[in-house]
Amino acid sequence: MDSGSFQLPADVVEIVDLAKRIVQKELMPLEPEFLPHPGHAFGIKETTNLRTVFGSDVVEHLMKISRDTGLWYLMVPEQYGGTGLSMLAQVAILEQFNYTAVPFPFANVANILYQCEGDQVDRFLKPIIEGEMTTCFAQTEPNAGSDPGGMMQTRAVKDGGDWVLNGTKMWISGAAESDMIMVQAVTDPEKRQRGGITMFLVMRDNPGMHIEEPGIKTWLGPHASQYIVNFQDCRVPARDVLGEVGNGFRLGQRWLTIHDRLLRGPFALGKMQRSLDMSIEWAKQRVTFGKPLAERQAIQWQLVDMYIDLEALRALTYQMAARADAGEDIRAEAGMVKLTSMVWGARTVDKAIQIHGAMGEALELPLTLFYRYLRHGQIGGGANEIQRMQIARKLLRG
């Protein structure tokens, strides 16, 4: 990656290079053990995945590197002990870590949790930053996926000093592995997404919340990470409302804009770069009918298409990250990043699998795992069609 072309400050380039060295020296050598292991799953914390696969010595070693280098606080604001790096810098660094299937442990905190106030900071935010507590986001419902604001049925009714939640959430990534769940519920059926949905912080041990296990089996891996969460007279104290009552849908959109849309860019970029690098190396060494694959136009053109998709997505992602740093409303633009990164990413990895032939399907390579994650991204977090609707809405409104 030519970081200089994006005019990253010298200190950020140093961190990007540090991340690249960690990937090559520490993470990629762990892939042979990580890839075939049945325990790791999509959608759960990096540290959780690491502990599922490796012994404590490996996990503690990686966490020490993360903390000693300051990368643990990569995405944490300065006021909470973080680096204060720009979104552009974060994207450039995260691209490097997504080059490998082995996750790097860091404080991956939902941006909306910085809305915590009072004792919420000590009870929720700080433990999550330090890795002592994990969390997930619950918006989707059985009949409220693409239109959560209009179709959400989970209700919260005020009762004295508590709110009482009733309803069901579905396709909740990492619910069974989380200590606390950020839950959206309707508090004003008339206003709904325009001031009638509130965000609640619900602890896993709340007796009114039940997570159905073993969860929903998907092709993302043998260990399910998608869950149904039921709320039955679930009492949540008023002090555990995140932000203002009625502002929960806006908070959810803020989380989705950055974490589930813009950051899909570096999530795909690292995998695309790895797929291209692997394909170039394979094409040079693999000989068929007396010639390396690299000398065949059919293979050359696929490599060119992969390279074009990679460079175009990198330019788009970095530009939108810079616009986010400038304070622009990038909801539609983040949707562009999500749409293109998942579509272009999946087709890039698909080409890599085809170039590798039968070897491309081997689980000892990361290609099939990359493909599943990127293909899933065309549905999860807002389907491709929803992203197009939002982008079109902005174009026509403008």
What percentage of the chain reaches a pLDDT higher than 90?
89
pLDDT at 335: 97
CA distances from 202 to 207, 208, 210, 234, 283 (A): 10, 10, 11, 9, 51
Residue pLDDT, tens place only, 21-62: 999 999 999 999 999 998 898 888 999 999 999 999 999 999
Query: Into which CATH architecture does domain 3-108 fall?
Result: Orthogonal Bundle (1.10)
Instruction: Please state the φ and ψ torsions of residue 218, each to the nearest 5 degrees.
Output: -130, 175
Pairing of strands 180-186, 221-237: unpaired
> What pLDDT shows up at residue 288?
95
pLDDT in tens, 255-280: 999 999 999 999 999 999 999 999 99
Only one residue has tokens 């200190």, namely 11
Give dist(CA 283, CA 235) in Å, integer: 60
CA distance 29 to 2: 24
- pLDDT for position 338: 98
Give the chain's residues under pLDDT 50. 1-4
Cis peptide before 105 (omega within 30 of 0): no
Structure tokens at 393: 């809405």
| CATH class as words, domain 263-397 | mainly alpha
CB atoms within 10 A of CB 114: 14
Please state the domain extents for the chain. Answer: 3-108, 135-246, 263-397
Cα atoms found within 13 Å of the Cα of residue 386, Cβ hemisphere only = 16
Rounded distance between C-alpha atoms, residue 101 and residue 27, angstroms? 8
Rounded alpha-carbon distances, angstroms, from residue 236 to 41, 153, 187, 189: 29, 17, 13, 19
The C-alpha atoms of residue 391 and residue 209 are separated, in whole angstroms, by: 36
Q: How high is the pLDDT of residue 3?
A: 45
User: Does 135-246 carry CATH code 3.30.70.340?
Assistant: no
pLDDT at 200: 98
Q: 343-381: buried (b, 16+ CB within 10 Å) or exposed (e) per residue?
A: bbbbbbbbbbbebbeeebeeeebbbbbbbbbbbbbbebb
Tokens matching residue 285? 């060494």
CB 249 within 8 A of CB 366: no
